[in-house]
Amino acid sequence: MQDAAPLACRLPDAAGLLAHCQSGRVLVGLSKRLGMAQPGRETGARQLRVQPLVAVDAAEPRTAISDGCTDRRGFLVFGTRNVADDGRPIGSFYQYSRQHGLRRLALPVVAEASAICFSADGARMFFADARASRIMACDYDADAGSVGAPRVFAQLDPGAGPRGAALDLDGCLWSAQAGQLLRYAPDGEVVQRIAHDCTSVAFGGAGLTQLAAVGAGGLYAVPVPGVAGQADSPFDDHPPQ
C-alpha cells in the first residue's frame, strides 16, 4: 500500500513553531500571534484557516516568534527573536495555556530564543540565545508559570550558536549547531559529536529511536544506535475547568 501524499497548504504568515494538540488540531506560532488550525484533505493548496488565539509582542514590531515546544504539562513555552538589523537582545520567553493565557517567563532577554526543551519530570527547562555560545537551564513550574535562577548548562565552542534541541531517555540533550550535532550528558559534558550542519533535531519513528535533523540540504536521518528520545506532550487545548 502506498503512503498517503503529504498535504500542502499555505499559511497566512511565516511560522516560527507548531505543536500537536490533544484534540488533533495544530497550534501554530506565526510571526506575531498564536493560532489554532485543523488541516484537512479538503484544504488542498488553499490557505490554511488559522483561528487567532493571542497576540505576541503586539507593541514591538522588531520581534517575531522563533522557537518553542510543549512542556510536560501540555502548555506551550516559546520565545521571540529580534528581526531588526541591530540584532540587540530584545526577545523574551513566554508560556501559553488555555488555563492561564499568555504569561511572560522571568528569564533574561535574548537576541533569538532557541533550544527550548524540558526534562522528563518537567521540573527543568533548557533554553538558549542562538547568538550566544552557551545553553542555559533553570528550574520550572508549569502551573505557577515560574522559573528559577538561570545557570549555564553547557559552554559551547567559541563562535558556536545553539539552535534546536531535543532530549533522549538518558536525560542527554542533543544540540544542533553550525557544522555539528552534539550530545550533552545531564551534567553538561559533551559525550558525542557528529559532523553535520543542522538547525533542528527531533526524535521519531518506532519507539522514538530515529533521530532526524533539518539542515540547509533538507531532512536527514542520523544513526544513533541504542538511543531513544523522550515523547512530546501534546498541547492541552481543552477548555479550562
Evaluate if residue 7 carries a pLDDT over 80: no
Are residues 112 and 91 in contact, defined by beta-carbon separation less than 8 angstroms? yes
Domain that holds residue 203: 15-222
Q: Is 183 a domain residue?
A: yes
Q: Is 2 a domain residue?
A: no
Q: Is 75 a domain residue?
A: yes
Evaluate if residue 6 carries a pLDDT over 90: no
Q: Is 198 a domain residue?
A: yes
How large is the average pLDDT for residues 120-135?
Answer: 96
Q: Is 176 a domain residue?
A: yes
The band of 158, judged by pLDDT with boundaries at 50, 70 and 90, is confident
Q: Is 5 a domain residue?
A: no
Exposure string for 1-29, b = 16+ CB within 10 A, e = fewer: eeeeeeeeeeebeeebbbbebeeebbbbb
How large is the average pLDDT for residues 45-59?
Answer: 87
Q: Is 45 a domain residue?
A: yes
Rounded Cα distance, 231 and 94, in Å: 22
Q: What is the pLDDT of residue 215?
A: 81
pLDDT in tens, 73-100: 999 999 999 999 999 999 999 999 999 9
Q: Where residue 163 sits, what CATH number does that domain have?
A: 2.120.10.30
Evaluate if residue 41 carries a pLDDT over 80: no
Q: What secondary structure letter does DSSP report for 89?
A: S
Are residues 50 and 70 in contact, defined by beta-carbon separation less than 8 angstroms? no
How large is the average pLDDT for residues 226-238?
Answer: 95
Q: Is 236 a domain residue?
A: no
How large is the average pLDDT for residues 127-156?
Answer: 97
The band of 219, judged by pLDDT with boundaries at 50, 70 and 90, is confident
pTM over cut 0.85: yes
User: What domain count does the chain have?
Assistant: 1
Q: What is the pLDDT of residue 44?
A: 53
Q: What is the pLDDT of residue 198?
A: 87
Please give the mean pLDDT across all residues of the chain.
91
